[in-house]
């Protein structure tokens, strides 16, 4: 009977703990003469940014080096202090790490 009570207590506690709030990181990248504002959601493994009037939300994908996000033909690849935004294998922006908040 005591074992059943312990199991029920643990299950009850697990049911009470909801998902953790999402932690967003906002970063500003310097891309030549322009800045790129990027929001990273580490819980969902996504990045979001606006480029040329279009909003992009990219998902984390496997990468041999650095961190890479992609969706469709668009990619956002962070390697060291350099970030490359590409579409259809054509580099759109080459950026350097900026401030994070």
Domain membership flag for residue 67? yes
Domain membership flag for residue 64? yes
Domain membership flag for residue 40? yes
Domain membership flag for residue 50? yes
The answer to whether 38 touches 45, Cβ cutoff 8 Å, is no
Quote the domain boundaries for residue 48: 23-96
**Going residue by residue through the chain (101 aa), what tens digit of pLDDT does each one get?**
555 444 444 445 555 566 666 789 999 999 999 999 999 999 999 999 999 999 999 999 999 999 999 999 999 999 999 999 999 999 999 999 866 66
Name residue 10's beta-bridge partners: none
Q: Tell me the residue ranges of DSSP E strands in 1-101.
A: 24-31, 34-41, 46-51, 54-61, 67-71, 74-79, 82-87, 90-96
Select from 42, 45, 38, 46 the least CA-distant residue to 93: 38
DSSP class of 16: H
Domain membership flag for residue 1? no
d(CA 43, CA 53): 26
Place of tokens 């590409």: 86
The pTM is what? Answer: 0.74
């Amino acid at each position: 009977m005591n074992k059943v009570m312990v199991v029920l207590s643990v299950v009850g506690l697990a049911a009470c703990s909801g998902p953790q709030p999402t932690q967003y990181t906002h970063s500003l990248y310097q891309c030549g003469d322009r800045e790129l504002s990027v929001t990273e959601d580490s819980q969902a493994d996504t990045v979001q940014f606006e480029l040329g009037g279009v909003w992009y939300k990219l998902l984390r994908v496997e990468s041999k080096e650095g961190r890479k996000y992609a969706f469709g033909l668009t990619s956002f690849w962070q390697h060291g202090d350099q970030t490359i935004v590409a579409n259809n294998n054509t580099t759109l922006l080459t950026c350097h790490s900026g401030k994070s908040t």
